[in-house]
Structure 1
Amino acid sequence: MVNFLLERTVPLPLDEAWRRLTNWPRHGEAVPLTRVTVTPPGATHEGTMVVARSGIGPLAFDDPMEVTVWRPPGDDVPGLCHLEKRGRVITGWAEIEVRPGPGGRTRVRWREELGVRWVPGVFDGVVERTARYVFGRAVNRLLRGA
């Protein structure tokens, strides 16, 4: 298992940064070879399942995640979403937090504990660097998009 943290400070209101980061289908647009579905459709809440299907054809796999904490931001109150990874291939959790930052900006924290079954710990460095790169680009793209 690897742990990593991504932090960004963006010129967006809290609620807009939250909206962009928790628009689950857009994650599929931000991560290559990935499509995201949400069950049940509609507003996210605790218990919502977010499934990212990554890969091509027979090499594709699902990364199902359950929302276990859902606290949207309020007036200068941080927002927090915690997802537990429930898959056979990808394990761990992810956490998205938005909070007031300097100068009216928003501070974003994306923390993740990521395990890939059948990948020995000797490859943790490669998994971490790859995840940091892929998720870093995804966070940047999600925050830039309207």
Structure 2
Amino acid sequence: MSAVVAVTRTVPAPAEHVWRVLTDWPAQTDWMPLTRVRTVGDSSGHEVGAQIEAWTGVGRVGFLDTMVVTAWEPPTRCEVLHTGRVVRGPGIFAVTALGARHTAVTWKEHLDLPLGRLGRAGWPVARPFVRAGLAMALRRFASYAVRH
């Protein structure tokens, strides 16, 4: 079963700038709570097939989120496929210009719920926390994008 969660945030910055900052994978470490992000290999992460890893947690307690870029459409859309043990399924960053100085950023996840029936039963409880985490990250991103 796939569960969908999405959040949108308006950023007071031009779309091209927002795109560049949003897809600077290692810099996501600066605005994504409790997460360190890196590209794998020699890739910048800016092409289909690029691999990205994100460690979410504190110290050694957490999980590794492995991803492969499946769509790269600058400056409007990037899709990844989460391939890790905990997080699986497609994720999307969509960037929409709202005039010359404002941009909407949508972060959408189609999560393949783990743990079978237990995961499906627990999703109604987990969903608000997952959504709140994405919303917090996009709030932090908006501030970060304005400063950088």
Q: CA deviation at 1:116?
A: 4.4
Would the aligned equivalents of 2:43 and 2:50 in 1 still touch at CA under 8 Å?
no
Would the aligned equivalents of 1:63 and 1:85 in 2 still touch at CA under 8 Å?
yes
Cα separation, partners in 2 of 1:16 and 1:3, compared to 1, 3 Å = same
Relative to structure 2, which stretch is displaced further, 38-47 or 64-73?
38-47
For 1:17, the aligned partner's letter is V
For 2:96, the aligned partner's letter is R
Unaligned segments of structure 2, at least 5 residues: none
CA RMSD of aligned residues (A): 2.0
Select 2:71's aligned residue among 69, 74, 97.
Answer: 69
Separation in structure 1 between the aligned mates of residue 100 and residue 86 of structure 2, nearest angstrom:
41
Separation in structure 1 between the aligned mates of residue 58 and residue 10 of structure 2, nearest angstrom:
34
Separation in structure 2 between the aligned mates of residue 138 and residue 80 of structure 1, nearest angstrom:
18
Partner of 2:142: 143
Unaligned segments of structure 1, at least 5 residues: 74-78
TM-score in terms of structure 2 length: 0.83
TM-score in terms of structure 1 length: 0.84
Structure 1 residue ranges (4+ consecutive) displaced by more than 3 angstroms after TM superposition: 56-59
Separation in structure 2 between the aligned mates of residue 142 and residue 39 of structure 1, nearest angstrom:
23
User: Residue 126 of structure 1: SS of its match in structure 2?
Assistant: helix
